[in-house]
Amino acid sequence: MSFKTSIIIIAVLLPMTIYSQQYSEQNSETDRSVENRIETLLSQMTLAEKISMLHGNSKFTTAGVERLGIPPWRLSDGPHGIREEIKPHTWEPAGWTTDSSSYFPTGTALAATWNPVLAEKMGIALGEEARARNKDVLLGPGVNILRTPLCGRNFEYMGEDPLLVSEMAIQYIRGVQSQDVAACLKHYALNNQEYERFKINVEVDERTLREIYLPAFKAAVKKADVFTIMGAYNKFRGKYCCENHYLLNDILKGEWDFKGAVVSDWDATHSTIESANAGLDLEMGTAVDDYKDYYFADALQKAVEDGEVAEAVVDDKVRRILRVMFRTRMIGSDDRKTGAFNTPEHQALTRKIAEEALVLLKNAGNLLPLDKTQIKSIAVIGDNATRKHAAGGVSSGLKALYEITPLEGLQKYLKDDVKITYARGYQKTSEFHWDKGAVNTPPDPEEAAALIAEAVNAAKAADVAIIFGGLNHDYDTEAFDRPDMKLPYTQNELIEAVQKANPKTIVVLICGSPVEMDRWVNRVPAIVQGWYAGMEGGTAMAKILFGDVNFSGKLPFTFPKKLADSPPHKIGEYPGKNLTVEYKEGILVGYRYFDTENVEPLFCFGHGLSYTNFSYSDLKLSSAAMLPADSIQVQVTVKNTGHADGAEVVQLYLRDVESSVLRPAKELKGFRKIFLKAGESGKVTFKLSRADLAFYDVSRSDWVSEPGAFRVLIGSSSRDIRMEGAFELLSE
Ligand code: BGC
């Protein structure tokens, strides 16, 4: 560093240091005054009043204490929009006409942007919509790791890598909470399958717990200061998550010093004394309609009176809830943010996120982007070309103000310039049943053949065929896992037939989980991962297929070639035996498994093509050796060498060359999305410190980084490594 630069840095840093000192003093001053006010309120409350704050008083509210000016808490799902209003005591819609909301791309789509700035913007917009609907707590984000492709809720979550999930969740939470709304991080913890979610017991070794399944929760607490956390339905090591002392008191409130409130998932509480003493703060529910019968209602009052739960334990819970109320300015402030609802800005943001989320999986012969001036006709095929998805998926479903389907998006975009013929191609023969999930009745063979024939004719007569297939919320849903990884209905037959009829066939998959493509993946030239891309998904789709916008999304999870290749199905356990599932694959989740065991995926983690190309050069490590207390800077130059403007997600993976324990072949330790105009170059810098090198050492119950060689792998995906460097971690 030159003398001049160091002076500038010092000059910039000095005021910042003074500012941050003042800020933290002011903050602790506020904290102290809030804590004092909490104590004053507590001292005025009767036991019954305290307990009234610890359980649901309707499906989505708690009781306040009017006498003391404590309002009820109003919670809402989450995570990709504000849910429609239901009647207070049943699950029926309340019939409002003012409760439609902005529908954002769901979790996997957001993660596929690899752009934390968008996660923060989405959080802010969600917070604004929550406030405008008078909500205090937004039930999201969902950060459970994608362990099996079959998990019904994968679409709500953010993929298979702890770092990617953490970085996106941190920003989402900061955004939501900046609007005086508490985020509620869910589902803590190990809720990685929906099959038997109310009963399943998860067994996972301590290292895997710490390295794979907890980091996003920890990051949300430590780095985003999340105000509330939802305890999951399942059991962990034999104990329900909402009465799991180890998860709640020891790790969350102990090790991570969580100061907010633990909310049970709806009906996930199974006891009074045990849950109260284990660290659950608020019981929410579904089944019992007399709220006095809740575990945390009359039974808790009795447990305190009988001395089985100390009143101090109850006080701690009330304190936590009040703290969140103060921090979201529900009490103690008259300038709480009032939010904004269904604004054009929010709608534009849903489109922007969708544009950055779409992933170009394959583009043989550069079939995409399509050129409006060269194409006269398109066959648009498939049920998902016209299907709306906002309302599906159970608790995350919402009443979208509107939702542009892919067909509508293309029609609006192309106007009369290009002729569009729509053919359904396959029939959605499934229905979602509350007790069984997707029930699929095989179609009448003649009807199915007629639909395919109609699509083939449309494809033959058109310059290009685009099939919008994939899944829908009969399959990508809360409460049920998929039976297999196959495309349902007659989609495979349809794709094969259409591709034969018109070699210029593009397949767009609308789904939130991996699906098998073996029957046609080698023959279809272009494949797009379309996700559930929100209310403007169709607009974004049209713009990207015609090259007005460039693809920049990357996969947040691996697409295995077949289900049997996926680690829980190959070496772990799924869905478990006798209501216990053992995560025998340990830390080898997602690409950590595929790369360590050399199993070829269909599309790897981090994969996503662009309409331009990026070259990587000049990899520089600030040092060849690092002391444990130091850090290393990694810098690389990326150039857009093509003719289109675009964005690249530069991914940094680390490999521990020699270790006393099994380490994955590579682990993501940093990523940056860089926007470059055609011909432009830019530098990307990462910082690696000891924590990035560490594994969780069970014998020491701590994170340990062992001295020795590490390789730095810089790539455009987990399997497209462009540059490698090395350094040595020295001993103390
Ligand atoms: C889901 C939660 C949701 C809650 C309230 C539960 O069934 O697991 O994610 O927030 O319902 O709707």
Q: Tell me which residue has tokens 């289900």.
A: 563
Higher pLDDT residue, 23 or 149?
A: 149
Q: What is the mean pLDDT of residues 604-630?
A: 98
> Ligand 1 test: best mutation among 61, 190, 266, most atoms within 8 Å of CB?
266
Decide the pairing of beta strands 580-582 and 201-203. parallel
Amino acid at the residue 584: K
Q: How confident is the model at residue 16 (pLDDT cuts 50, 70, 90)?
A: very low
Please enumerate in sequence order all residues whose Cβ is within 8 A of that of 659, keeping only pairs 6 or more positions apart, or say none: 695, 706, 708
Q: What is the mean pLDDT of residues 500-514?
A: 98
Atom number of ligand 1 nearest to Cα 83: 12
Q: What is the mean pLDDT of residues 445-466?
A: 98
Q: Tell me, what's the pLDDT at 295?
A: 98
pLDDT exceeds 60 at position 373: yes
Spot the catalytic one: 99, 136, 180, 265.
265
From atom 6 of ligand 1, which residue's Cα is the shortest distance away? 266
Atom number of ligand 1 nearest to Cα 395: 12
Q: Tell me, what's the pLDDT at 24?
A: 56
Q: How confident is the model at residue 22 (pLDDT cuts 50, 70, 90)?
A: low
Residues with CB under 6 Å of ligand 1 are 77-78, 139, 186, 265-266, 395, 478
What distance in Å separates the CA atoms of residue 712 and residue 623, rounded to the nearest whole number? 12
Q: How confident is the model at residue 25 (pLDDT cuts 50, 70, 90)?
A: low
Q: Tell me, what's the pLDDT at 23?
A: 47
What distance in Å separates the CA atoms of residue 318 and residue 87, rounded to the nearest whole number? 26
User: Rounded to the nearest whole angstrom, what is the distance from the C-alpha of residue 78 to the centroid of ligand 1?
Assistant: 9
Q: How confident is the model at residue 132 (pLDDT cuts 50, 70, 90)?
A: very high
What distance in Å separates the CA atoms of residue 509 and residue 667, rounded to the nearest whole number? 27
Q: Is 83 exposed, middle or buried (0-12, 13-18, 19+ CB in 10 A)?
A: buried
pLDDT exceeds 80 at position 33: yes
User: Rounded to the nearest whole angstrom, what is the distance from the C-alpha of residue 395 to the centroid of ligand 1?
Assistant: 5
Q: Tell me, what's the pLDDT at 3?
A: 34
Q: For residue 359, which phi and psi values (nearest 5 degrees)?
A: -115, 130
pLDDT exceeds 80 at position 83: yes
Reported as a single tens digit per residue, the pLDDT across 104-127 is: 999 999 999 999 999 999 999 999
What distance in Å separates the CA atoms of residue 330 and residue 179, rounded to the nearest whole number? 12
What distance in Å separates the CA atoms of residue 136 and residue 718, rounded to the nearest whole number? 40
pLDDT exceeds 50 at position 302: yes
Please enumerate in sequence order all residues whose Cβ is within 8 A of that of 644, keeping only pairs 6 or more positions apart, or say none: 547, 550, 610, 611, 612, 678
Q: How confident is the model at residue 51 (pLDDT cuts 50, 70, 90)?
A: very high
User: Rounded to the nearest whole angstrom, what is the distance from the C-alpha of residue 125 to the centroid of ligand 1?
Assistant: 21
pLDDT exceeds 60 at position 11: no
Q: Tell me, what's the pLDDT at 29?
A: 72
Q: What is the mean pLDDT of residues 668-673?
A: 98
Sheet holding 580-582, edge to edge: 239-240, 235-236, 201-203, 580-582
Nearest one of 330, 382, 649 to 491, comparing CA atoms: 382
Q: Tell me, what's the pLDDT at 7?
A: 35
> Ligand 1 test: best mutation among 91, 126, 139, most atoms within 8 Å of CB?
139
What distance in Å separates the CA atoms of residue 507 and residue 512, rounded to the nearest whole number? 15
From atom 8 of ligand 1, which residue's Cα is the shortest distance away? 265
Q: What percent of the chain has pLDDT over 70?
A: 96
Q: What is the mean pLDDT of residues 52-76?
A: 97
What is the number of other CB atoms lying within 10 angstroms of the CB of residue 335? Answer: 7
User: Rounded to the nearest whole angstrom, what is the distance from the C-alpha of residue 386 to the centroid of ligand 1?
Assistant: 28
Q: What is the mean pLDDT of residues 427-431?
A: 97
Q: Tell me, what's the pLDDT at 12?
A: 37
Atom number of ligand 1 nearest to Cα 187: 9
Can you spell out the DSSP letters for 596-643? HTTPPPSB-TT--B-SS-EEEEEEEES-SEE-TT-EEEEEEEEEE-SS
Q: What is the mean pLDDT of residues 373-387?
A: 97
Q: Tell me, what's the pLDDT at 529?
A: 99
What is the number of other CB atoms lying within 10 angstroms of the CB of residue 598? Answer: 7
> Ligand 1 test: best mutation among 395, 434, 481, most atoms within 8 Å of CB?
395
pLDDT exceeds 80 at position 18: no
Two structure tokens written together for 558:
């691996």
What distance in Å separates the CA atoms of residue 163 and residue 654, rounded to the nearest whole number? 12
What distance in Å separates the CA atoms of residue 320 and residue 323, rounded to the nearest whole number? 5
Atom number of ligand 1 nearest to Cα 233: 8
User: Rounded to the nearest whole angstrom, what is the distance from the C-alpha of residue 268 to the centroid of ligand 1?
Assistant: 10
Two structure tokens written together for 624:
């060849």
Our measurement of the distance from residue 321's CA atom to the centroid of its chain's CA atoms, rounded to an integer in Å, reads 25
If you average pLDDT over every residue of the chain, what do you get? Answer: 95
315 part of the active site: no
